[in-house]
Amino acid sequence: MNIRRIFALAYKETLQIWRDPRSLAIALLMPLMQMTLLGYGVSLDIKHVPVCVYDQENNQQTRGIIGDIVSSGWFSISRTLTRQVGIRHAMDRGDCIAAIVIPANFSRRLASTGSAPVQAILDATDVNTTNIAIGYLQGAIGEINAGIDAQWAAAHGIQPSQIGQVDLVQSTWFNETLDSRNFIIPGVVAVILALVGAQLTSLTIAREWERGTMEQLISTPVTALEVMLGKLIPYFVVGLVDAVFCLAAAAWWFKVPFRGSIMTLFVTTALFILVVLDIGYLISVRIRSQLGASQVALLITLLPTTLLSGYTFPIDQMPAPIRALTFIVYPRYYVTILRAIFLKGSGLADLWAPSLGLLIYAVIVIWLAARAFQKRLD
Amino acid sequence: MNAAAPAIIAEGLTKRFQTFTAVDHLDLRIEKGEIAGFIGPNGAGKSTTIRMLCGLLRPSEGHALVAGFDVGQQPEAVREHIGYMSQKFSLYGDLTVRENLRFFGGIYRVARSDMEERTRFAITMAGLQGREDALVRTLAGGWKQRLALGCAILHRPPILFLDEPTSGVEPEARRRFWDLIHDLAAGGVTILVSTHYMDEAEYCNRIALIDRGRLVAMGTPGQLRSRHLGGDLFEISCTPLGAAGQALKDAPGVIDAAIFGDKLHVVLVPGGLDSTTLPGFLQDHGISVQAMRTVAPSLEDVFVQMVSGHHGEQGAP
Ligand SMILES: Nc1ncnc2c1ncn2[C@@H]1O[C@H](COP(=O)(O)OP(=O)(O)OP(=O)(O)O)[C@@H](O)[C@H]1O
Ligand SMILES: [Mg+2]
């Protein structure tokens, strides 16, 4: 590998990008346009929301209430806890997105005052799921209340409408305002960068084949790795500018709270840009026509990215085989990372798993692209 | 690389695309400092051969050594020693003259201390002084091709492959281009150049005539002329032409006699009639001879006949 050659290629590519201002303008403005278009998400039905249960009283009545909640079909109990701190751990690990807490004096309060609270703690990082979960919980509690009312009325000989009930006291963590945009927008940024990034580089090799310059280039001693690095460097800069635009729009235009560090954001974003550019480059190497490469890049980034990255459809609501599939959908790692950085203020240490996912991806794609670049015409 | 070894050797070099054989068992031997011309009609296999010699296509059969390296096994070593101008113009049209030179200088790792001088040389050679900052796509054909040559020789390769460098270039610019080729060869560079302009064959030291993937003939222009005819060509003005032709058909030493316009073209080999006895022979047959002279066939005549004759053979059952 020779720095001089990489530099010569990067310089040439930069000049070509610069001399094509229309494409450059599209590359820089397109993401912003897409941000405004995709900035509003969709909500969808979910089932079997994983919940943790912390039943402080744990008697027949409270167990019955929990059984009623589960039998509604919307929830499944992933853990039964015995301590309050367990909730935080379970949520951090992603074991549950809601915790139902029944206080120790629940039965007594219900009997004496006719009203008792059930607490629901919600991980609102994924606000769609959270909102839907709240709706289901309210529905389930409503039915429980109706049952209690009927029993109470029968026992005391009074009208059901006058009696008390179970109150749902909810508290949301990580995304207190429950603003769905806070959840959707970081995902939108990831999706847009994945789409635009692959488009940026998908043309770079195909263009040289179509113009006939590739035949000249591969007759020189230049290596596959030099060509890749030389070509990626200028697009990396363009990709970073796109990322800055999108992230700035997320923070200032869509007002998503930013609690993390710029450094963490930069490192993970740079890694993600590297992956998406190299995916586009790999496509470009394999498909020697610009039109074909651009279409393939769109096809293989658009559908998996929008459907399987978890940006609107929560990954933990997917059936197991599909969920397994999302591990190869690289934007899912960046979606997770961005939400955590924005909403939880997570640092690199917290994000090692998705970051490692991206890193592995980068290494594999670079290896594949370098191998796919043949200095032959046949 | 051995000083006496040929620059390019090919033995049984073959390229098949699926079932189609584009290059068919080609044998070549090109010495250092030679200008070797590849001549042949469209689709003859010139580009395919050159691409194999540059390591860009893998031979289906046979092998070739360029600068002592096997093109199939050591293509990278081959690339270190060659310059290549592909048939399709292949500089970057959206870069300027100077930027293209700087790019290829970087790719070939031309020492920075040499860059200035070599860039100036290439610009002068291409006749582009004062247009260094013009975008290459705005240049006319002749300038583009000379600049492409300049880029291909920036790293001073000992062997140069030029694939139809003069196609689509006006005659004056073509002559200038050949002057450059001769200058390079005088400097010791081995040059393999393809063309389908027959007149350019005369500018080569040796010519390989290629048709349908086969080497039809190879030699100096002079060798090809006489080898093809198998003897010396004479042009005779006489009357009546038809009777003269008949009389000469079976005469000793005559291998061909044909009416050519209002004259007779006769090919003679030593051992029978010759230029002194032939007029008398004709007069004995009652034919009056006005004039007789030797003529040199043009290479174009030679090639046209060789290629069409070759086709005839192939067409026969
Ligand atoms: N990649 C390929 N796949 C299939 N056939 C090919 C391929 N490349 C060349 N050919 C065929 O091989 C034959 C020889 O082509 P080649 O380009 O070598 O001819 P050429 O002598 O350079 O002709 P021209 O004067 O038109 O440039 C042609 O019939 C061509 O169609
Ligand atoms: Mg050709």
What would the pLDDT profile of A138-166 be if each residue is shown by its tens digit?
Answer: 777 777 776 666 666 566 555 544 444 56
Predicted local confidence at residue B201, as pLDDT: 86
The answer, yes or no, to whether residue A9 has pLDDT greater than 80, is: yes
- pLDDT of residue A137 exceeding 90: no
Classify each residue of B164-182 as buried b or exposed e, where b means 16 or more C-beta atoms within 10 Å of its C-beta: bbbeebeeebbebbbebbe
Q: Which of A219, A222, A231 to mutate against chain B (most B CBs within 10 Å)?
A: A219
Which residues of chain A have a CB within 8 Å of the CB of B54? 219
Give the pLDDT confidence score for residue B314 in this predicted structure.
38
The verdict on the CB of residue B40 being under 6 Å from ligand 1 is yes
Q: Does the structure show a pLDDT above 80 at A100?
A: yes
Lowest mean pLDDT among A77-86, A224-233, A274-283: A77-86
Coil, strand, or helix at residue A117?
strand
- Given a cut of 50, is residue B310 above it in pLDDT? no
Q: Helix (H, G, I), strand (E, B), or coil: what is residue A198?
A: helix
Higher pLDDT, A172 or B254: B254
pLDDT for res A193: 93
Report the range of poorest mean pLDDT among A26-30, A138-142, A243-247, B238-242. Answer: A138-142
pLDDT at A136: 75
pLDDT band (50, 70, 90) for residue B312: very low
Asked whether residue A69 carries a pLDDT value surpassing 90, the answer given is no
How distant is the Cα of A220 from the closest Cα of chain B, in angstroms? 6
Average pLDDT over residues A196-221: 92
Indicate whether A177 pLDDT > 80.
no
Nearest CA distance, A18 vs chain B (angstrom): 10
**pLDDT given for residue B279 in this prediction:** 87
Return d(Cα B167, Cα B186) in angstroms, integer: 23
What digits encode the pLDDT tens for the residues B107-151? 999 999 999 999 999 999 899 999 999 999 999 988 999 999 999
Of A8, A211, A213, the CB nearest to B106: A8
Q: Say what the pLDDT of residue B84 is.
A: 96
Q: Higher pLDDT residue, B128 or A67? A: B128
Could you give the domains of chain B?
8-218 (3.40.50.300), 230-296 (3.30.70.100)
pLDDT of residue A135: 73
Q: Which long-range contacts (CB under 8 A, 24 or more apart) does A343-349 make?
A: A343/A125, A343/A174, A343/A175, A343/A182, A343/A183, A343/A186, A343/A256, A343/A257, A343/A259, A344/A125, A344/A174, A344/A259, A344/A260, A345/A259, A345/A260, A345/A261, A346/A260, A346/A264, A347/A260, A347/A261, A347/A264, A348/A264, A348/A267, A348/A268
CA distance A198 to A193: 8
CB A301 within 8 A of CB A198: yes
Query: Please, what are the domains in chain A?
Result: 3-43+180-372 (no CATH), 49-163 (3.40.1710.10)
Q: Where are the alpha helices (DSSP H) in chain A?
A: 3-18, 21-38, 60-71, 85-92, 106-113, 127-156, 180-202, 204-211, 213-217, 224-248, 262-286, 290-308, 320-325, 331-339, 352-372
Place of tokens 């007029």: B279
Q: Are the C-beta atoms of B109 and A4 separated by less than 8 Å? A: yes
CB contact under 8 A, B109 and A19: no
Ligand closest to CA B44: 1
Which residue of chain B has the CA closest to A230?
B107
- The DSSP string of B121-186 is HHHHHHT-TT-TTSBGGGS-HHHHHHHHHHHHTTT--SEEEEESTTTT--HHHHHHHHHHHHHHHH
pLDDT of residue A165: 58
What pTM does this model have? 0.74
| 0.85 surpassed by complex ipTM | no
Res. A244: pLDDT tops 50: yes
* Residue tagged 């249960």 (tokens): A53
Between B43 and B317, the higher pLDDT residue: B43
A101-110, A191-200, B88-97, B224-233: least confident range? B224-233
- B108/A213 CB distance under 8 A: no
Q: What is the pLDDT of residue A308?
A: 81
Determine the distance in angstroms separating the CA of B266 from the nearest CA of chain A, rounded to an integer.
49
Inter-chain touch B105–A220, beta carbons under 8 Å: no
- A20 shares contact with chain B (CB less than 8 Å): yes
B195 lines ligand 1 (CB under 6 A): no
